[in-house]
């Protein structure tokens, strides 16, 4: 605990509410927006249900995009979270083939344990 302006503030860990565990995954990817424009991004982590990426471009919560180069495929996703330049995507309607490739890849990656990014 720390004192801040006479108040005590406790640091309480927040449980991860995600359905699937996350894994470290740092790869260059492309984000294609609905208007056809593309932007470069770098992935941070991936799970069977989505991924987090960093990009300099602006996206809106709820915006649907395509993510290129995710397990050598293009997958549909929706922006669910934003913190600074880091965006959290949920995969949409993954083909069974892509689900299996993502699941297999995740098993080969180290677990992602967020510390300072709060993602």
Angle (nearest 5°) at CA 102 between 82 and 26: 55
Q: How confident is the model at residue 7 (pLDDT cuts 50, 70, 90)?
A: very low
Distances (CA, A) of 25 to 7, 60, 111: 39, 23, 9
What residue segments make up the domains of the chain, in order of their start?
Answer: 21-108
Side-chain half-sphere exposure of 23, counting CA atoms within 13 A: 16
Residue 2 has pLDDT above 50, yes or no: no
Residue 28 has pLDDT above 80, yes or no: yes
Q: In the structure encoding, which two tokens stand for residue 57, read together?
A: 């471009």
CATH number of the 21-108 domain = 2.40.10.220
Q: How confident is the model at residue 119 (pLDDT cuts 50, 70, 90)?
A: low
Residue 117 has pLDDT above 90, yes or no: no
Stretch 70-82: mean pLDDT, rounded?
Answer: 93
Angle (nearest 5°) at CA 36 between 32 and 37: 70
């Amino acid at each position: 605990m720390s004192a801040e302006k006479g108040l005590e503030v406790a640091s309480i860990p927040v449980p991860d509410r995600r359905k699937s565990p996350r894994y470290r995954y740092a790869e260059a990817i492309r984000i294609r927006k609905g208007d056809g424009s593309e932007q470069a991004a770098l992935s941070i982590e991936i799970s069977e249900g989505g991924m987090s990426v960093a990009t300099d471009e602006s996206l809106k919560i709820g915006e649907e995009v395509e993510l290129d180069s995710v397990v050598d495929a293009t997958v549909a996703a929706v922006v669910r979270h934003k913190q600074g330049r880091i965006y959290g995507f949920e995969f949409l309607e993954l083909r069974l083939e892509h689900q299996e490739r993502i699941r297999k890849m995740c098993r080969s990656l180290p677990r992602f344990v967020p510390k300072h990014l709060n993602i």
